[in-house]
Structure 1
Amino acid sequence: MSDSIQPQILVEIAELARTLGHAHRVALLCHISEEERPVEKLAELAGLSLANASQHLQNLKRAGFVDTRRDGKRILYRLGSGPVMVLLGGLQQFAEFKRAELRQVVVDSFAQPSRLHGISREELLLRLADGGVTLLDVRPEHEYALGHLPGALNIPLEELQGRLGELPQGQQIVAYCRGPYCVLSRDAVTMLRTSGLTARCLESGYPDWLAAGLKVEKAG
Structure 2
Amino acid sequence: MNGKTVLVTGGSRGIGAAIALRLAEAGADVAITYTSDEAAAQAVVGKIQALGRRAVATRADAGGAGDAAGAVDWAADTLGRLDVLVNNAGAGVLGPLEDLTLAQVDRVLAVNVRGVFLASQAAAGRMGPGGRIITIGSCMTQRVPGPGGTLYAMSKSALTGLTKALARELGGRRITANIVHPGPVDTDMNPANGPYADPQAAMTALGRFGRPEEIADTVAFLAGDGAAYITGAEFSVDGGHAA
Q: Which has the higher helix share?
A: 1
Normalising by structure 2, we get a TM-score of 0.25
Structure with greater Cα Rg? 1
